[in-house]
Amino acid sequence: MTWLRVALVMMALVLSPPAPHPAAAQSTFAAFIEALWPEAKAFGISRPTFDAAFKGVEPDLSLPDLILPGRTDATVKGQAEFSRPPQDYLDKKYLTTLAGQARGFARQHAASLDRVEADLGVDRRIVLAIWGRETAFGAHKLPHYAIRVLASQAYTGRRRELFRRELLFGLKMLEDRIVTVANMKSSWAGAMGLTQFLPSEFYQSAYDLDRDGTADLFNSVPDALGSAAKQLKDKGWVATLPWGFEVKVPATLDCGYDGPANERSLEAWTKAGVTTTSGRPIPPALMARNAYLMSPGGAYGPSFLVTDNFKVLRAYNTSDLYAVFVGHLADRIGGTSDFDTPWQAIRQLPNRDVEEIQKLLKAAGSPIDKIDGKIGSNTRWLIGTYQRKAGLKVDCWPTSALLSHLRSSPVR
């Protein structure tokens, strides 16, 4: 299939109306799969490939993020970025272990990492950190059959249109013999390979770093590292720009100034009294660069000024904690140690309680962008803004006390 044809098919998918919920259109999973065939055929998938991919496949209803009768808690239990408190996700012992392993891999793959930096302009420590975060340098074996995962999510997931698209690209991977049915192992969200690519990302960013004629993200460490770098470059990575700086926030500011909506130049933050915890000044050459304040644990842990490269890391995996993990692990690979500001014992509310806080903030007039039960920059910023307006302690964290306050006396 030509790329023009792929582009035309994908344009049709984007412009077509969202697929109806399976309960309304396809009463069974088998009917859903058969209804997919015309799209797959138009996408260049042969009937033998299609039938082999789905042979014996039933939906996996144990996956997170599905819409199922009786499942009222809007959780993503399998995704650590949104189910574990920051101090657990950014575990010091685990980060120390990964950093030590990464330094060994840096020596082993030095020539490939030289090529990553020369060809793609991405810091070697960043791609090593992604490899470590995604699959523990290949030690973590992915447990799911990717087609089953993608089909289950496309059938009855919360992001059905996205996964329907990824399912078609997953079938194309089989058609193009990039991977076999037996070896098509993935995460619960369908990401595959040493550095965890969704199927569409294979076609967008797979990179043959070892120059053997095939971009193999399953078995070739050079290709996996090169492909991770290519994806970062495609998303806007800026060579030599740090991902961020751990900072001390003066009393005149607080975590309620967090988030992209409050972005300003590093020079402006410095003039407002924000300083690095290391005591080293931000390089003058970077002062014109924009950054925003980011406190992933609210007032109960480190704060950072994060740059455009932090946004690129978030585009790789849409989570503040993921981006901090990768950035901090890269720094540790380079020789730094733990965060300067200690984490407190932060309690993570159930997703349903976070979702209720978001709904109540929205009802109180806050411009919440998503009601999804996930704790991101927008939610923390608007919690802080609400707390400041209500005369509460500004900690920018969803707590039981905040939920009780919102239930009893929302600010209008």
pLDDT digits (tens, 9 = 90+) for 221-254: 999 999 999 999 999 999 999 999 999 999 999 9
Alpha-carbon distance 243 to 315, whole Å? 13
Categorize the per-residue pLDDT at 70 as very low, low, confident or very high, splitting at 50, 70 and 90: low
Residue 333 CB-density burial (10 A; 0-12 exposed, 13-18 middle, 19+ buried): buried
* Residue of higher predicted confidence among 377 and 3: 377
Place of tokens 């903030």: 361
Alpha-carbon distance 393 to 215, whole Å? 52
Average pLDDT over residues 300-316: 97
* Residue of higher predicted confidence among 80 and 29: 29
| pLDDT for the residue 83 | 72
Show the domains of the chain with their CATH numbers: 20-80+143-192 (1.10.8)
Categorize the per-residue pLDDT at 412 as very low, low, confident or very high, splitting at 50, 70 and 90: low
Alpha-carbon distance 167 to 198, whole Å? 9
| pLDDT for the residue 23 | 44
Mean pLDDT of the chain, nearest integer: 91
| pLDDT of 20 above 50 | no
| pLDDT of 1 above 50 | no
**Minimum mean pLDDT range among 100-109, 113-122, 362-371:** 362-371
Average pLDDT over residues 302-330: 97
Alpha-carbon distance 85 to 296, whole Å? 10
| pLDDT for the residue 13 | 43
Taking the CA atoms of residue 288, residue 291, residue 292 and residue 296 in that order, the dihedral angle to the nearest 10 degrees is -150
| pLDDT for the residue 342 | 96
| pLDDT for the residue 22 | 41
Average pLDDT over residues 273-300: 97
pLDDT tens string 249-273:
999 999 999 999 999 999 999 999 9
Per-residue CA distances from 229 to 105, 149, 167, 216 (Å): 16, 26, 24, 14
Categorize the per-residue pLDDT at 127 as very low, low, confident or very high, splitting at 50, 70 and 90: very high
| pLDDT of 54 above 80 | yes
Categorize the per-residue pLDDT at 80 as very low, low, confident or very high, splitting at 50, 70 and 90: low
| pLDDT for the residue 65 | 84
| pLDDT of 213 above 50 | yes
- The 3-class secondary structure across the chain, one letter per residue, is CCHHHHHHHHHHHHHCCCCCCHHHHCCCHHHHHHHHHHHHHHCCCCHHHHHHHHCCCCCCCCCCCECCCCCCCCCCCCCHHHCCCHHHHCCHHHHHHHHHHHHHHHHHCHHHHHHHHHHHCCCHHHHHHHHHHHHCCCCCCCCEEHHHHHHHHHHHECCHHHHHHHHHHHHHHHHCCCCCCCCCEECCCCCECCCCECHHHHHHHCCCCCCCCCCCCCCCHHHHHHHHHHHHHHCCCCCCCCCEEEEECCCCCCHHHCCHHHCEEHHHHHHCCCEECCCCCCCHHHCCCEEEEECCCHHHCCEEEECHHHHHHHHHCCCHHHHHHHHHHHHHHCCCCCCCCCCCCCCCCCHHHHHHHHHHHHHCCCCCCCCCCCCCHHHHHHHHHHHHHHCCCCCCCCCHHHHHHHHHCCCC
| pLDDT for the residue 369 | 82
pLDDT tens string 129-184:
999 999 999 999 999 999 999 999 999 998 999 999 999 999 999 999 999 999 99
pLDDT tens string 332-383:
999 998 999 999 999 999 989 999 999 999 999 999 888 988 899 999 999 9
pLDDT tens string 175-207:
999 999 999 999 999 999 999 999 999 999 999
Categorize the per-residue pLDDT at 7 as very low, low, confident or very high, splitting at 50, 70 and 90: very low
